[in-house]
A and B are shown apart, each in its own frame.
Chain A
């Protein structure tokens, strides 16, 4: 009983982080209809930036978050405006291949800059933990989960209440109609990418604190984001949260009860099954192109 509760708790914490890492991917997918295979790279860029900043400035890694998010928002804006936009105008497969090419290049550059070794961000409270009844929680993991929930809520509020959010939603629903109403669609696309990159970077910091990371991890984070989005539904923070929590619970349960090498199998089986049974995701607005 304790084991199940502990496993579920671990899964929820992990799932909250998966959700944060996937929300940017989901936003780009929903608004631009681009599958951004360089998403994992942006997540890792957040992690490495936080590592460098917290070591040089001697501050808590979570405090570097605003700076990291600002830097990556700028990078995201430029990346979309001057590179991906050309592929968006072309065939649907072009953007996938383009972002994959960028991911390969950046992966190689990261190996040159940071070496292929595993790195870790260790804040001062790295080994603190507390108990709630019989279940143990790491302080680090809980603070990271809290950070990701706060960020997801912020993004949901941004999309719902601000004028930028309104324009983004309008573009996602009816690009042509938005353009007719005077929305500068390219600018909105780039802003969406900027927001998405900022949140991916924030996720990178959280991931860097909890898990060791290396340049080779980018593919894992891209795939996780894809699975989360397919599970939860495209384009909404709530969908990403549901998908992320589900994925977290499923992977910890599989690792605990079936075997440590099987989470990938169940993850992809779940992905394929859900694509077939409910292609719009558990909460999602239906997206036509899957069928």
Chain B
């Protein structure tokens, strides 16, 4: 549907939505501002994941590694500059976190992108576990002790709303980056890797370079979101950033919304966060069961996600409209 819109109109619609979302927290009750933060954060992560997992078809099961590495790099660097004025702290943290993720992902990319499919997914889980355990057990990283982050919200700004809007800006930025990638030659190359990597390579697509670039971009964006997340928590340990449920959720967001689409991850993240945080909030004993059931039902009934369902429905309706004319 967005293929018919010109880029200028698309940009205008996205920015208009962003402005509406930015005003919302002033009229929402505080609980929903918190839920909104989580939705925007998850949506940002989901899009960053989908640049590699959705476009190129390399579904990673260990992206929490980059959240953790980004967050800890930012925290450790910010600790070295205690005298810095507050407005400069976040940019410094983002720079450190992004750089750490870029280096890590660029190094890891060479060996790990030789693997495909499930093997890539599980090897990424291995990478995440190794990072988490090293972070936890090597004293320098203070993973088990924990790291404090300074409060960066301006004094006359409600911190909840400040982080909500920060996530919104970050999320929109990630969305626009993904959109531009999707429109570019690079994006077309990634899609061709997903469809048939060997054929794409034979036809002259530089698959190795494209995969590595997508991996690094995805990792850096994930790391930057991790830096913001760490600031909004205020205090992190290894367990609070290297989370297995994040690893899983990132796949589920895309699967729920529609794998490989631009808005699928956003829809999936919004829906899943709403369901788990608002509807199931009082049923903590039931939480795992409900998530598992959702996964099973999804796989069996809607393998193309919500966008897949909508597209299938439209195609059937169009087919029905065409049929009587014959």
Contact = CB atoms under 8 A, between A and B. Distances in A.
Contacts of A87: 299-300
A105 B303 contact: no
Which of B122, B287, B300 is packed against the most chain A CB atoms within 10 Å?
A: B122
B81 to A, nearest CB: 31
Contacts of A90: 299, 303
Given A98-B296, A271-B126, A104 B133 contact: no
Interface string B96-139: 00000000000000011011111101110011011001101100
A290 B119 contact: yes
A265 B130 contact: yes
Interface in A108-143: 108-109, 111-112
B130 A269 contact: yes
Which of A97, A262, A268 is packed against the most chain B CB atoms within 10 Å?
A: A268
A164 to B, nearest CB: 27
Interface stretch (A20-28, A190-198, A272-280): A272-280
A112 B115 contact: no
A115 to B, nearest CB: 12
B114 A276 contact: yes
A105 B292 contact: yes
Contacts of B133: 261-262, 264-265, 268
Interface in B269-311: 285-289, 291-296, 298-300, 303
Nearest to B57: A93
Interface in A243-291: 259, 261-262, 264-265, 268-269, 271-272, 275-276, 279, 289-291
B126 A268 contact: yes
Nearest to A92: B117
A94 interface: yes
B59 interface: yes
A259 B138 CA distance: 11
B126 A272 contact: yes
B250 to A, nearest CB: 12
Nearest to A259: B137
Contacts of B294: 101
Contacts of B112: 272, 276
Interface of B: 59, 111-112, 114-119, 121-123, 126-127, 129-130, 133-134, 136-137, 244, 248, 251-252, 255, 285-289, 291-296, 298-300, 303
29 contacts: A86-B300, A87-B300, A93-B117, A93-B118, A97-B255, A98-B299, A100-B248, A101-B291, A101-B294, A101-B299, A104-B288, A104-B291, A105-B293, A106-B292, A108-B286, A108-B287, A265-B137, A268-B126, A271-B126, A272-B130, A275-B115, A276-B112, A276-B115, A279-B119, A290-B115, A290-B116, A290-B117, A291-B114, A291-B119
